[in-house]
Structures are given as C-alpha cells and as structure tokens.
Amino acid sequence: MHRVTGLKVAIKVMQAEKAALSREENGISESSAMELCEKNSNVASLIESFSQDGHVYIVTKFYRTGDMLGYLETKKVNKLPEAETRDLVKQLASGVRDIHDQGVVHRDIKHLNILISLS
C-alpha cells in the first residue's frame, strides 16, 4: 500500500549496481523510460522511484491480473481466442509504439513483462 496515495502498488527492487550498469548499457534508467511514456495507458504507470541502502526501488501501479503467463494460467488455457488476442496485441503494439516514439527501445518484451489490467 502506497503510504501517500493509499493505492495498492507493486515494487521492483534492484541492486543499485545492477541498475547503474543497466542505465549505462541502455543509456536511460528504467524509471526514466517509464516517465517518458506516462501518457500511454498501455505502458505501466510509474508512481515513484528511489534509492536506499544500495537498492533501487521502482514503484508502479499494481496490476491485479498480473502478467501474461499468470493470466493464461488463471484462465487454464495455453492460448486465447482470436478476438481477445487481437485486442491484447493492439494494446501491446500501442505501448511499444509510444515507447519508440520517445526514442526508447524495449529490449525485453516477453510474457512476464506484459501486465494485464482488466476492469
């Protein structure tokens, strides 16, 4: 629970050294890339990021449905109906397009990095 907003959040924790190496390798930090894309509803929403005790914390909106793999496991299927797949791919493409429009390339698109948010 985020202390200021009261919203349920997810927190990614990375060792500061690993985060710095990633930032150097990619030319931008993960949280900065997320900030650049904050206007796209198909990109995970960054709430805040901070460093403390040798770690970097990236606080994002909590997606209760989880990632693509968890979504498929919850539905007890290994593939989705064509219409649902089409909708998800459109949203994914919109997010990737917005990321690219900001001059950022997502180099790790995979089922664990695709978060599902259902109403």
DSSP reduced 3-state for 54: coil
Q: How far apart are CA 2 and CA 45, in angstroms?
A: 14
Please confirm, yes or no, whether 101 is among the known catalytic residues.
no
Catalytic residue among 67, 98, 101, 108: 108
Beta strands 9-15 and 46-52, pairing class:
unpaired
Nearest to 51 by CA among 16, 23, 25, 21: 16
Edge-to-edge, what's the strand order for the sheet holding 55-61? 9-15, 55-61, 46-52
Could you give the residue numbers annotated as active site? 108
